[in-house]
Structure 1
Amino acid sequence: MMILRCVAIDDEPLALQLIQTYVARFPGLELVQVFEDALSGVEYLKQNSVDLLFVDVNMPDITGVELVRSLVTRPMVIFTTAYRNYAFESYELQAIDYLLKPIDYSRFAAAVERAIDFHKYKNATQEAINDESIYVYAEYKMIKILLRDIAYIESMGDYLKIYLAGSEKPILTLMTMKKVLEKLPETQFARIHRSFIVALGKIKSIHNRKVNLNNAELPIGDAYSSFINQQKGNVG
């Protein structure tokens, strides 16, 4: 069984005790150290390798955000805090999740399951990754997207909108087109415009330099006109 080595840092003893209680319910987690003193926690993390860090945001000596930024090698991070106003920092640092105190066990469990899943994803072979899913950071947490659900992706400057089949609301994530293309298998996705990537399996037709999907019509850019010839005979 895969075991994730964990550390918890919080200046509130009761908060640490709650995390210890919750972690004990997961056989796949090993809580190797807990710290009430953030600076001691930093020193430990700089000298020891761990997989997952639970860290309070608002601490007296150094904030959890500053602590994570100081680490050269960062484990997966789950922030815990009583304050919502640090959500953007957790987004910037791509934390696995952001838990508001008092932490409900079901919410804690969902965050841990996300960390376990992401750890498996990071350690899978590239072939296995391409056949199944990608991870992106959205809504202040790391989320898993099945490749088969993606209809198309639209670039919005430094952000991407990922449109899923059967869903009207896209997933908004801070990522470039270049970066997401590195995650997507070439056999399943193609860039057709400087602003669009399309899932080949979701194409219904190509006509007048436009790609038609179930609920969208996307332009084919001049630089990607060869896409039309490549797809002849592949779509109806």
Structure 2
Amino acid sequence: MTCIIVDDEPLAIEIVEAYLEKIDQLKLLGKFRNAIEAFAFLQDHAVDLIFLDIQMPKLSGLDFIKTLKNPPKVIFTTAYRDYAIEGFDLEVVDYLLKPIPFDRFLKAVAKVLHQPTAPLAAAKADGTGDDYVYFKVDKRMVKTRMTDVLYIESVKDYVKVRTADKEIITQQKISYLEESLPRPQFLRIHRSFIINVEKIDAYSATDVEIGKFSVPIGRNYKNDVMKALGKNVF
């Protein structure tokens, strides 16, 4: 996995870099003293993980994440515990307090390397021609056709996959799931919701109707949603 370090403290960067040298599965692509430089780098480079300080000049780590439409996985490295709740609201992987012991750092990295993910490699071996995936539910793998999914809802560290006749709950981050779903069939319309565009019955500026369900459109997603759905308006 590729990663970058964003921190305004040179010593903090050196420590994280030294830790990373001990972990073969992570490749460091860059080190940045502020979020503006990191933002520019991300425009041209794919990164899987950011080790990110919070209190930095020009732009805080929290605000930096909010500027990214599809942010990589994030591990906060900070001297302040006051932002922990807001950090986890942003779906960060972990929150490390400086000075960071190596064993604690390793534990955070393990969460990334072994992050539970839904196996989203499409298959067409069921004879119907429909793509399907398996979602891990407890100790079972539940087969779900993509054409049956109405919408997906994020609830903390879990997602609810809603079909017309059932609800599947699996441990997963919605941001990671979004990266694997086929587009433009699936569209993120809210921080907590992804919908199957093919299942839409009606929509307005505030919500989308899918069968008996009403799914809200997030303020920060409204322009992109209207642009995507407005292509077929006459």
- When the two structures are superposed, what TM-score results if normalisation uses the length of structure 1? 0.55
Q: Quote the residue 1:181 is aligned against.
A: 167
Higher gyration radius (CA): 1
Residue 29 (structure 1) aligns with = 26
Alignment of 1:142-161 (within 5 A): 147-148=138-139
* 1:17 and 2:14 correspond: yes
Cα pair distance change 1:32/1:122, threshold 3 Å: farther
1:49 aligns with one of 46, 51, 54: 46
Distance 1:5 1:122 in 2: 21
Q: Equivalent residue for 1:140?
A: none
Change in 2 beyond 3 A, CA 1:29/1:178: closer
Give secondary structure in 2 for the equivalent of 1:121.
coil
Q: Does the CA-based 8 Å contact 1:46-1:71 persist in structure 2?
A: no
CA distance in 2, matches of 1:82, 1:36: 16
How many residues align structurally? Answer: 145
CA contact (8 A) 2:158 2:169 kept: no
CA RMSD of aligned residues (A): 2.9
Moved over 3 A (4+): 122-126, 173-184
The 8 Å contact of residues 79 and 98 in structure 1, kept in 2 or not, is answered as: yes
Is 1:121 matched up with 2:107? no
Structure 2 gap segments, 5+ residues each:
122-132, 141-152, 171-234
Structure with bigger helix share is: 1
Rounded to whole Å, the distance in 2 between the matches of 1:29 and 1:20 is 11
Cα offset, 1:42, TM superposition: 1.2
Match of 1:95 in 2: 92
Q: Does 1:105 align with 2:91?
A: no
Q: What is the distance in 2 between the residues matched to 1:20 and 1:93?
A: 24
For 2:53, the aligned partner's letter is D
Whole-angstrom distance in 2 between the partners of 1:27 and 1:90: 27
Query: CA separation of 1:94/1:159 partners in 2, compared to 1, >3 Å: closer, same or farther?
Result: closer
Residue from 35, 51, 67 that aligns with 2:64: 67
Identity percentage of aligned residues: 32
TM-score, with normalisation over the residues of structure 2? 0.55
- For residues 6-41 of structure 1, give each alpha carbon's deviation from its aligned partner in whole angstroms, at most 9, with x where no partner exists: 010000000000010001111000001000122111
CA distance in 2, matches of 1:31, 1:123: 26
